[in-house]
Amino acid sequence: MKVLISDPMSEIGIKVLEETPGIDVDVNTGLTPEELKGIIGQYHGLAIRSATKVTADIIAAATQLKVIGRAGIGLDNVDIPAASQRGIVVMNTPEGNTITTAEHTIAMMMALTRNIPQATGSLREGKWEKKKLKGREVFNKTLGLIGAGHIGRIVADRAKGLKMKVIVYDPYIKPESIEKMDLEPVSFDELLQRSDYVTIHTPKTNETVNMFNADTFARMKKGAMLINCARGGIVNEADLYDALVSGQLGGAALDVFASEPPGANKLLELPTFICTPHLGASTTEAQDNVAKDVAEQIAAYLLHGSVKNAVNVPSISSELMSILRPYVTLVERMGALQSQLAESAVLEVKIHYAGAVSQYDMAPLTTAVLKGLLTPILKDDVNFVNAPYIASERGIKVVESKSQTSEDFASLVALTVKTLEGENIVSGTIFGKDRPRILRINNFYMEAIPEGHILLIQNQDSPGVIGQIGMTLGKFGLNISRMHVGEEKEKKQNVIILTTSTIVNDDVLEALRGLPNVFAVKRIEL
């Protein structure tokens, strides 16, 4: 089996592959897309970091490729749907750099607090500015964590060692689970009002893009400091500049930017702003860990079929996977739909398998449900291996049941998700051999294709409503690819599932919500 390493990687990872019998490894970095396209057809495995862009064109040329392994977490540079369509397993290494990223957050907080970069620059200029560069203590200060995943928890642990008070906002974890971590759960507004420092530990999603903006900064404690070592785009950089200039924020530290490198950015002119060039995972230990992990994972899959940390396939035999693959796709998207329907933390997941599908081992499908449920929240941090563990860690109760008969379909999967605010029911099936369909959302029944950029609209069943929706989308230049309507006759209400050609922005959502007889509009990505 031949493996190509196309990005610079720790020698430890290269050595693992070189010393594995049955694996022939080539290291060829800095390839142009055309150069990679020209040689990828001879390889069975591809090991990358962030530089190589594995596009649909590259995948189409990869006639023998079986696995793509990312030494790190983020997979924005891999066309996962194209890889999945070709049956290529995509893996990452989500655990290798958690400590490193958490430590960098603490380092940024301390450097910001004590003006260390500014003091270094001042001394290099021959100055001695003790009074001007006076800092503050972190002792007894309140640290507000946005997100209590693996990295957030490590930051909390280190901060408590510094005798800081730690409060947490994470709407996807039950307050009781946060309390079990010996942390205090709070609302977003309370965190902003109380925190002397705010650190961000969340993926970049539709909900977190521009999460920190002019309005957010205005609600923060005056003089508070903001640290983001998570993902660029979560902080609105123009608004951050204004908040620092006005003195509303006492300082800010960014390891990530909306565009990288950031180029001519006004923030770089401010003495209360410090930054690093995306160094969160850049330690020798972390790079050794992820390189070793990805090499071992690629070798194990190519030689033994073992799957670890795959983001697009569960760990099951190839024979069973050929049968269950359409259901894996269906239930993963049902889980993702449920996650985006939820208004608060998930408490319980009930999955009922009915009909022919119930005769198989349900564990892979339940894992796929959980992976789908958690992906909109955690993005690349969740995969088919760790999804059950993360669900358990977050206190999510999972209940499976099955029956051998299904009244209307050969197979049916019903997914009920209970949250702090209530519960939602979604059911689905497979049409033909491999066509997933959503059949029910709560009390609305339809036959909807669960894929693409979706608008879920609840409205009064009145003449002209659908026309107004179409006209509104047309004004914004959005094309409707598909439309499905479910009806609840007793209440004379509809749920409309619209698939658009491109993702809709917040302005479109507000315009739709302002239409007469429209009750609610949600943006769903499947």
- DSSP assignment of 351-384: EEEEEGGGGS--HHHHHHHHHHHHHHHHGGG--T
Q: How confident is the model at residue 97 (pLDDT cuts 50, 70, 90)?
A: confident
406, 471, 507 from 479: Cα distances, Å: 37, 10, 16
Q: Which of 24-28, 101-105, 164-168, 204-208 has the lowest mean pLDDT?
A: 204-208
Q: How many domains does the chain have?
A: 4
Q: Are 498 and 526 in contact (CB under 8 A)?
A: no
Active-site residue, from 49, 153, 158, 278: 278
The mean pLDDT value for 291-307 works out to 91
447 in any annotated domain:
no
Active-site residue, from 260, 343, 421, 510: 260
Which domain does 168 fall in, by range?
98-275
Average pLDDT, the chain: 92
Asked whether residue 314 carries a pLDDT value surpassing 80, the answer given is no
Q: How confident is the model at residue 368 (pLDDT cuts 50, 70, 90)?
A: very high
Examine the fold and report which residue of 390, 414, 442 is the final residue of a domain before the chain moves on. Answer: 442
What beta strand segments (E) does 9-111 contain?
A: 24-27, 45-48, 67-70, 89-91
- What's the pLDDT at 317? 64
- What's the pLDDT at 252? 98
Burial of 175 (0-12, 13-18, 19+ CB in 10 A): middle
Q: How confident is the model at residue 318 (pLDDT cuts 50, 70, 90)?
A: low
Known catalytic residue at 231: yes
The mean pLDDT value for 340-344 works out to 91
- What's the pLDDT at 94? 84
Asked whether residue 324 carries a pLDDT value surpassing 90, the answer given is no
The mean pLDDT value for 228-247 works out to 96
- What's the pLDDT at 379? 83
C-alpha 80, offset from chain centre: 14
Known catalytic residue at 237: no
Examine the fold and report which residue of 442, 475, 505 is the final residue of a domain before the chain moves on. Answer: 442
Q: Which of 45-59, 83-97, 237-251, 498-512 has the lowest mean pLDDT?
A: 83-97
Task: Give me the CATH number covering residue 89.
Answer: 3.40.50.720
38, 203, 408 from 220: Cα distances, Å: 53, 21, 54
Q: How many residues does the chain have?
A: 526
Examine the fold and report which residue of 414, 442, 470 is the final residue of a domain before the chain moves on. Answer: 442
Residue-wise pLDDT tens digits, 107-156: 999 999 999 999 999 999 999 999 999 999 999 999 999 999 889 999 99
339 in any annotated domain:
yes
Assign 3-class secondary structure to 159-228.
HHHCCCEEEEECCCCCHHHHHHCCCEECCHHHHHHHCCEEEECCCCCCCCCCCECHHHHHHCCCCEEEEE
Q: Are residues 320 and 259 in the same domain?
A: no
Q: Which residue has the higher pLDDT, 25 or 323?
A: 25
Task: Give me the CATH number covering residue 477.
Answer: 3.30.70.260
215 in any annotated domain:
yes
The mean pLDDT value for 432-455 works out to 91
Known catalytic residue at 124: no
Q: How confident is the model at residue 96 (pLDDT cuts 50, 70, 90)?
A: confident
Query: ∠ CA 232-298-230 to the nearest 5 degrees?
Result: 15
- What's the pLDDT at 378? 87
Active-site residue, from 44, 194, 201, 231: 231
- What's the pLDDT at 315? 61
Distance CA 292, CA 272 (A): 39
Q: Are residues 371 and 463 in the same domain?
A: no
Q: Are residues 105 and 225 in the same domain?
A: yes
Q: Are residues 271 and 146 in the same domain?
A: yes
The mean pLDDT value for 500-517 works out to 91
222 in any annotated domain:
yes
Task: Give me the CATH number covering residue 422.
Answer: 3.30.1330.90
Q: How confident is the model at residue 210 (pLDDT cuts 50, 70, 90)?
A: very high
Q: Are residues 167 and 261 in the same domain?
A: yes
Nearest to 349 by CA among 247, 271, 418: 418
The mean pLDDT value for 463-485 works out to 90
Residue-wise pLDDT tens digits, 34-90: 999 999 999 999 999 989 999 999 999 999 999 999 998 888 899 988 887 777 899
Q: What does the DSSP 8-state code read for residue 266?
A: G
Q: How confident is the model at residue 207 (pLDDT cuts 50, 70, 90)?
A: confident
- What's the pLDDT at 316? 64
Q: Are residues 102 and 250 in the same domain?
A: yes
